[in-house]
Amino acid sequence: MVIVFSTIIVSSEPDPTPSLDEVLARVAILEKDVATLTEREAARTTVVFDDSALIYKVVHACLKSASISEDEELLILKRLLQ
C-alpha cells in the first residue's frame, strides 16, 4: 500500500514563525490527510462475512473443491483474512 501525503511548502523567509494563514493552511491539509487515511482504514477493515462459521465453511469448501486452483484458494484466503 502506498500512502501519499499532501505536500506542505515551507517558506524560505528568514522569520521562522509562520503566519496564522500558514498555520491554518497546514491544519487544513492535515485534516484532509487524516480524513483520507480514516476512509482507507475503514475500507481496509471491512469484514467480508460477519459469521466466523460461514468463513470456516467457505475456506473448507475451497480446500476440498477440485474446481478451485491453489492460486485461487490463496487469493480467496488472502481476501477473507484481510
Residue 76 falls within a domain, yes or no?
yes
5 is a domain residue? no
**Structural domain for 81, as ranges:** 50-82
Measured CA angle at 50 (ends 36, 48), to 5 deg = 50
Structural domain contains residue 81:
yes
Q: Tens digits of per-residue pLDDT, 25-76?
A: 999 999 999 999 888 877 766 666 777 888 888 888 888 888 889 899 888 8
Q: What is the CA radius of gyration of the chain?
A: 23
**pLDDT for the residue numbered 47:** 62
pLDDT of residue 52: 80
> Is there a contact between 55 and 49 (Cβ–Cβ < 8 Å)?
yes
**26, 44 Cβ separation under 8 angstroms:** no
What is the number of structural domains in the chain? 1
